[in-house]
Amino acid sequence: MQLIGQNLFSFFKKEMSSAFLRLVVLFVILVFSSIFQLQAQENNASAPTGKFGGVITATNNGVSIIPSFTLGRPALLFDLSLSGERFSFDPMLRFGMDGKPWSFVFWGRYKAIKDKPFTLTVGAHPAFIFAERIVKVNGREEKMFVSQRFLAMEIAPMYKFSNRLSMGLYYLRGHGFNPIPPDNSNFIALNTVISEVPVGKGFNMRINPQLFYLKVDDNSGTYITSNFTVSKPGFPIGFQGLVNQKIKSSIPGDDFIWNVGLLYIFSTPYQKK
């Protein structure tokens, strides 16, 4: 009976791995199909300008997309973007300062409504979270570097009241394909963006406060967080800070989280002709 149970577990694990691999391959095909479609539009003189850019951040504490989760130590973050008129491919690569990978997230996003006071963006991604775990190999316990696999989708409606003030909602739904939890997560945030706040010498501050609700399997909680970014137009160096406070939650984690980071910002536009 034990042997039958082990064989069934191995079968379902293999099937889930194959299904996840197929989903990842399909996602990559769709992303690159969108990119090739954008490149094919280069013969259209009315096509807009696209760009490749991103932000490289060195921080004292790596913070996840969901601010209540952290690496707990210094990290190097790569947030990249290849964008066109509506589609964008936005990989997020996170590493510890020791060079070990923390998480790889490969976003594909589509601007369903753009260039209006009300905008709507939808997206999806496969993600890989890396960690050292104790596993049994041939009956012996060994420390190995393993990855957990996730798929997620997002929807982000936003209303722009002025050049300096926007408000909206952000919803993220994730599902894990792993033998250990978490299996399902739901993240919804009331999102405010206050931008172009002058702080002197040509630098501006962007403030992004959020009140969010998080549910991970059977646990849930509410939090308040804010992200502060100081940058100067045309200048590649910026600064960033984040604070996150738990209001009430049964999800394991620190009550208060903070970090500061040094940013390198770059952007290369390309004109479609």
Q: What proportion of the chain, given as a percentage, has pLDDT over 90? A: 63
CA angle centred on 193, ends 192 and 199, rounded to 5°: 135
Dist CA 223 CA 135 (whole Å): 34
For residue 63, give the DSSP letter.
Answer: B
Q: Which two tokens stand for residue 106?
A: 């490969």
List, in order of start, the domains of the chain with CATH numbers: 2-270 (2.40.160.40)
- The answer to whether 240 and 216 have CB atoms below 8 angstroms apart is no
Q: What is the mean pLDDT of residues 68-82?
A: 93
pLDDT in tens, 22-58: 555 555 555 555 554 544 444 454 555 678 899 999 9
128 CB contacts (<8 Å, ≥6 apart)?
Answer: 103, 104, 147, 148, 149, 150
* Alpha helices in the chain, H assignment, sequence order: 2-40
pLDDT in the model for residue 56: 95
- Close Cβ partners of 72 (under 8 Å, ≥ 6 residues apart): 61, 62
d(CA 169, CA 209): 12
Would you say residue 135 has pLDDT above 90? Answer: no
